[in-house]
Amino acid sequence: MRTQSTDNRVYFLDYLRVVACFMVILVHCIEPFYLGEGGTVIASRSDALWVTCIDSLLRIAVPLFVMISSYLLVPVADSTEHFYYRRVKRVVVPFIIFSLAYALIPAWGSGGDIDILGNIKSLTFNFLPLSGHLWFVYMMLGVYLIMPIISPWLERVSARGERMFIAIWILATAVPFIRELGLEIRGTEGIWGEASWNEFGTLYYISGFIGYVVAADYIRKYVDWGVGKTLAVALPMLALGYAITAIPFYNAIPDSYPIHESIDLAVDMELSWSFATLGPALETLAVFLLFRLIKRGGKMYGFVAHISKRSYGIYLAHMFVLVPVFGWVNSWGMATPLVMVVSAMLTMAITAIVVEIVSLLPKSKYIIG
């Protein structure tokens, strides 16, 4: 049973999609408090604590989007050709339009010379520095490519088989930490067959975001828990995942403020924040289970469902709004957490209004999805 309503809307997914969209925007409003001037910049211990406490929960935003799509799409019912065609129309075309927009109108945040020709050339290989949030679309397209391939297996595999896959994937989410241990013990990060001539280790093909796809399918088919069991499983899982995510991040921050270091420090700090590592994986599964307790739309559902339908457009466009809004809010002199939350709320509200206006244009689905 894939739906919970007569109009084919799955109530909890719409609420979850809106929350995940806000989480993404909030993440980008937190980044200026530990990233800046081409490196790692943290003004105070207080800022370090706020970044750790808030952002360590927000790392679930991207995995939640993967699980939402997977819950609805796998096993793929359409032919592979038709499935890919629909993804191109709904996802790829708006993505290309916004990638070009960020390349052609970069003055919103660059503060320097505009190299439009250089931006266009760069787009043939990857996203631009000023549109870094679009990395998610590249990743998601890869997930879409694999969905029709694993769908026949998902249709035939037993519940036990899916649990085995998820268990091995959970082990794979610990690989970044195991690499660190290997570096300390062996002097090299290569584990289980990895070497300078081979990056495809034992768990390579069962790691990354594919685990969220299988987990979403398993939950849809086999998890039908009541409130009591859901809370008993999800809350300890959430607490454990949060601890695994937050503690290593905070411990990696030097105890000397203000901090002005290279970007390498931020990379080391974010080891436990990686989206397909153990902490965020546990948090994501827990939050997904908790939201699945929502069985009815409620009074706010009409509004939530509408924002949910616009979420892709909001995601694509929000950085155009966020940069000036954050600068404006930050000038008010409020406390760090207020700057984070208020700037995120204003960014989402303004972007949603802009996207709604764009939706009135003919063929707007090719712009905002």
Please write the tens of the pLDDT for every residue from 34-86. Answer: 998 779 999 999 999 999 999 999 999 999 999 999 999 999 999 999 999 99
What are the residue ranges spanned by the domains of the chain? 11-173+208-368
Q: What is the pLDDT of residue 319?
A: 93
Three-class SS of residue 260? Answer: strand
Q: pTM for the whole thing?
A: 0.93
pLDDT above 50: residue 5: no
pLDDT above 50: residue 250: yes
pLDDT above 60: residue 148: yes
Chain mean pLDDT for the chain: 93
- The percentage of the chain sitting over the pLDDT mark of 70, rounded to a whole number, equals 95
Q: Which residues contact 329 (CB under 8 A, 6 or more apart)?
A: 339, 342, 343, 346
Q: What is the pLDDT of residue 310?
A: 96
Q: Which residue has the tokens 């984070």?
A: 340
Strand-strand pairing, 39-42 and 35-36: antiparallel
pLDDT digits (tens, 9 = 90+) for 308-355: 999 999 999 999 999 999 999 999 999 999 999 999 999 999 999 999
pLDDT above 50: residue 109: no
Q: Residue 261 is inside which H or E element, if any? A: strand 259-262
| 281, 242 contact by CB (below 8 A) | no
Quote the distance between the C-alpha of residue 163 and its chain's center.
23
